[in-house]
Amino acid sequence: MKKGRILLVALVLLATVGVGILSAQGQAESAKKPVLTVWMKKQFVEDQNVEFEKRVNAFAAENNVDVVVELIAYEDFFPKWTAAIQSGVLPDLCFFGYQEVGQFYQQGLLMDVTDELKSIESKYGKIYDSSKAAVTFDGKTYAFPVWGEGTALYYRKDLLSAAGYNAPPKTWAEFKEIAKAVTDSSKGIYGAGLGYGAGNSDAEFLTRSMMFAFGGSIFDANKNLAFDTPENRAAFNYIISLFKEGLTPPTAVGWNDGGNNAAYISGQAAMVFNTGSIVNALGSNPELKAKTGLALLPAGPAGQFTVGIANNMGIFEGAKNKDLAVKLMEYLYEPTWYAKWIEAGAPLGLPVYEKLASAPIWDNEYFKPFIESMKTFKYLGYKGDYTPNAGKIYNMRLVNTMFESIIAANTSLDAAIKTFTSDAKTLIE
């Protein structure tokens, strides 16, 4: 072999070895990087999912960490939480509804983030006290409030007008009156689009809003069960009458969370109650959107109430990267990015920063009722504060089960109340 060629081969080999060494060093450095695992609820609006992942990845790049982001449907969280808790392999930053925060706090599974949240507020601005109250127990806060959800009455302006009503119902009595006037079963149109099914969270929330409006509740001010009361019975009999008098779609018993959405969009229901998801869906149906009006939930003898929905991010006590999770949470709270992220999903998501509630976007006629509904918010546990026991009863969908048994199986109201009370006491004890 010629001398020049020997030198060339040697240089190639040396370069190859050098690349190998650098590659090994790079792999070693990469292996040393912390891996931050984030579980987030999959949003109804895809733009929010995309922007959330971008934001977390930007944080990872800026802080020299690796991230694993999972976007998870709400109904799929329960088995994942259970498996993670049992195995001890936990995400670092995780989504929780406030009812789960209460449940996991009671089990001692969540990190106290009181000081961390105060630090974020001092830097970026005040978060609604009501949002913090939903995840605060014994004076300590166990999750970061990220967004709220309101509920509004959707109504068909054209159908109400044809029946002689040019305004939405302001009371539950008016709601039933209008529901009767617009119901035409021969055309497949029903006035009252509410229903019950085993996994239906919409119905669990709406029924409580109605109970509160009639002066009832599941708990009294001292956090004790107070279910069999005249006020609750008045609310229950009112709800039952909507079904017995044929004002609800025939398939309403058995609806999941998508039932009222589908009934409204298909033209089957003239009035439904929902979060902002229907507004988002109406974007592809301008004709129906033009016929749609929105209003606050009707009032009852005790006033106007909406059961608030609070969505949060929290940190398990057993998480490996707590400090990084807190740092990421602060990054997600940065007001400019956060405001754009909330607006991308409006009106389904409501801001937790007080200053953002007056942003021009909320003047939109399809958005305004949702931000205004926050003024009527009460949380699970009313007439007392929210408690983990209230979350347990919600998570087991005991209200849905009660109404399914009454409407579908003709169980008497007395028997249904007795069963509910027994099941609730068992959960609490």
pLDDT band at 31 (very low <50, low <70, confident <90, very high): low
pLDDT band at 75 (very low <50, low <70, confident <90, very high): confident
Per DSSP, the residues of 231-250 read: HHHHHHHHHHHHHHTT-S-T
Q: Which two tokens stand for residue 296?
A: 């606050």
What single-letter amino acid sits at 281?
A
Long-range pairs of 217-220 with CB within 8 A, sequence gap ≥ 24: 217/382, 217/383, 218/390, 218/393, 218/424, 219/381, 219/382, 219/383, 219/384, 219/387, 219/389, 219/390, 220/383, 220/384
Tell me, what's the pLDDT at 181? 98
Tell me, what's the pLDDT at 378? 93
Q: Of the spans 127-131, 198-202, 247-251, 394-398, which averages the highest pLDDT?
A: 247-251
pLDDT above 90 covers a percentage of the chain that reads 86
Taking every pair of C-alpha atoms in the chain, what is the biggest distance, in angstroms?
105
**CATH no. of 152-307+375-428:** 3.40.190.10
Question: How does pLDDT run across 212-247, given as a tens digit for each residue?
Answer: 999 999 999 999 999 999 999 999 999 999 999 999
Choose the weakest-confidence range: 24-38, 199-213, 324-338: 24-38
Nearest to 236 by CA among 216, 259, 222, 255: 216
Tell me, what's the pLDDT at 32? 79
Where in the chain do CATH 3.40.190.10 domains reside? 35-149+309-363, 152-307+375-428
CA distance 362 to 120: 25
Nearest to 113 by CA among 94, 86, 88, 99: 94
Give domain 35-149+309-363's CATH superfamily.
Periplasmic binding protein-like II (3.40.190.10)
pLDDT band at 315 (very low <50, low <70, confident <90, very high): very high
Tell me, what's the pLDDT at 367? 96
Tell me, what's the pLDDT at 180? 98
Nearest to 332 by CA among 187, 181, 116: 116
Strand order in the sheet with 292-295: 190-193, 269-274, 152-156, 292-295
Output the CA–CA distances (angstroms, integers) from residue 22 to 29, 65, 195, 364, in the order listed.
10, 20, 63, 57
Q: Which residues pair with 93 in a beta bridge?
A: 38
Other beta carbons less than 10 A from residue 110's beta carbon? 26
Tell me, what's the pLDDT at 404? 95
pTM over 0.95, yes/no: no
Q: Which two tokens stand for residue 117?
A: 């949240």
pLDDT above 70 covers a percentage of the chain that reads 93
What single-letter amino acid sits at 139?
G
Q: Which two tokens stand for residue 340?
A: 């754009």
Tell me, what's the pLDDT at 165? 98
Higher local confidence (pLDDT), 3 or 156: 156
Mean pLDDT of the 75-104 span: 95
Whether the Cβ atoms of residue 310 and residue 145 lie closer than 8 Å to each other? yes
Q: Which two tokens stand for residue 264?
A: 């409204």
